[in-house]
Structure 1
């Protein structure tokens, strides 16, 4: 079976990131078994973080519970104990046997089943600086500290990401400029060079710059190599998210590989690796 971890092309390796812990199309998001599987293989895996009522983080994407879990209401207003009683929902909305995990639950799993060297778990923080308080930051650092060499924290609010990174030695940092005022200016003026320059200036310590794949390809069509500009600054690029593997997405992936993107976020790493191999 083709490895669902990375693609080698033209002497360059591009990692296939398991978006929300998915290995293949149809996998539910954020299940402990799949996350552990990816980390054991040495894959790049992504999960999301939102803050709950007890000043900790839940492994969920949305700020409300209805779509992803069997609960209702806001994650922010739900206690850790209540969250642990909720079940995740699959892609079809049906409840799963898997329960909602908190950050400390995931860290306990990874401690019991150590990742393979080279594996990387992306913690994508879905909130902003205003959502963080000292207790939340302290808990975040305490939970991931022993595992931080396997982790990178990312998000669209650089101040929040910077605070979390500074709280934890060895934790890598990633920045996603594809939100807010920076994206609005790009949409208004099409100045791709300024967009990426501002991103690099905003996050001078970021190991990865996370870019929507369509922005990268649009810049390429306009004659500007956005990935090359990030590489020139000594950083790496993750292009997100290839949701399906089909005749429309594969030419886009081929072009991203030709541009030497460092990582592609996908909901179907296994299917994408197989399609590219064939």
Structure 2
């Protein structure tokens, strides 16, 4: 029975002490060897009921494209700032990996008409409200109001998430205060971090999920602050990002196991990873 579990690892979730932790496929990668932002992997995830994440960058015409970087050079065959390009400008540009076309928000909406009911796709907005504005939010509303898939819109721009709430109240929302909390910890310590996090949880974004860097979660726990419990007490879910095995074939190194098992003991709702099936297999080999 144990062998079957190991072979059948889909990279969807890990159960531990009665708690389910979903494994989220970072940048549409089921494994690190997959090409960045793969439409094929996304389709597989939709069929399997996976939790997945992609990044969105605003275009010059108010729409979006699935990319992480501000500039086209790193991820694509194009040049220049993404925000200066329209959808038509991007049509002949390809991803560096695999010579694939870019995924525009219009394409994305079409891909999401039919999905497994458990599937969840995170739109991680890489631009703030100043760049996206009312026009970009209206574009999201026009294309994603009636999709079948479950979507959660996240970002570190609280103004943007509030704007999305007002225009698309039925979509889940997430916030990532990680960078701000690191700065506060350096300046004022953990008590100030707790105060700021509590304020965010009760703030106008009304978030479903809080995205936190996993080393920040462990550092806080070592200092006596259980950030996951604090969030869960307020009815919020926590995603710990991004834990990726250095050697997926070998499984956990001793240091990785110490950190991952400490993280699992805190019972996050989700862990972001570039190696979801390998992480699930490695977990079952250890317990």
Task: Give the conservation status (yes or no) of the 8 Å contact 1:148–1:168.
Answer: no
* Counterpart Cα distance in 2 of 1:66 and 1:203: 36
For 2:93 and 2:166, how far apart are their aligned partners in 1? 32
Deviation at 1:79, TM superposition (A): 1.6
- Residue 21 (structure 1) shift: 0.4
Q: Distance in 2 between matches of 1:133 and 1:230?
A: 29
Q: 1:78 maps to what in 2?
A: 85
The count of residues paired between Structure 1 and Structure 2 equals 270
Query: Could you tell me how far 1:190 is from its partner in structure 2?
Result: 2.4
The CA distance in 1 between the partners of 2:205 and 2:95, in whole Å, is 37
Correspondence for 1:147: 147
What residue ranges of structure 1 are gaps of 5+ in the alignment? Answer: 91-95
Structure 1 position 189 matched with structure 2 position 196: no
* Aligned partners of 2:165 and 2:205 also within 8 Å: no
- Displacement of 1:203 in angstroms is 5.0
Q: Match of 1:241?
A: 242
Structure 2 residue corresponding to 1:19, chosen from 26, 29, 42: 26
**Which residue is equivalent to 2:51?**
44
Aligned to 2:249: none
Report deviation, 1:2: 1.2
Q: Does 1:67 align with 2:68?
A: no
CA distance in 1, matches of 2:179, 2:224: 23
Name the counterpart of 1:93: none
SS at match of 2:182: helix
Alignment of 1:168-183 (within 5 A): 168-180=168-180, 182-183=181-182
Q: For residues 89-128 of structure 1, what are the structure 2 equivalents within 5 Å?
A: 89-90=96-97, 96-111=98-113, 114-128=114-128
- Distance in structure 2 (CA, Å) of the matches to 1:199 and 1:137: 22
Q: Secondary structure at the match of 2:147?
A: helix
SS at match of 1:50: strand
Whether contact under 8 Å (2:53, 2:124) holds in the other structure is yes
Q: Residue 160 of structure 1 aligns with which residue?
A: 160
The residue aligned with 1:231 is 232
Query: How far apart are residue 45 of structure 1 and its match?
Result: 0.3
Q: Deviations over 1:163-198 (max 9, x none)?
A: 123211410000100124x43112222214224223
Match of 2:4? none
Kept in 2, the 8 Å contact 1:145–1:169? The answer is no
Alpha-carbon shift at residue 148 of structure 1 (Å): 6.7
RMSD between aligned residues: 1.5
The CA deviation string for residues 89-144 of structure 1, in whole angstroms up to 9 with x for no partner, is 23xxxxx1321111110111122xx1100111000001111012332221111111
CA–CA distance in 2 between the matches of 1:19 and 1:58?
17
TM-score using structure 2 length: 0.90
Tell me, in whole angstroms, the C-alpha distance in 2 between the residues paired with 1:54 and 1:14.
38
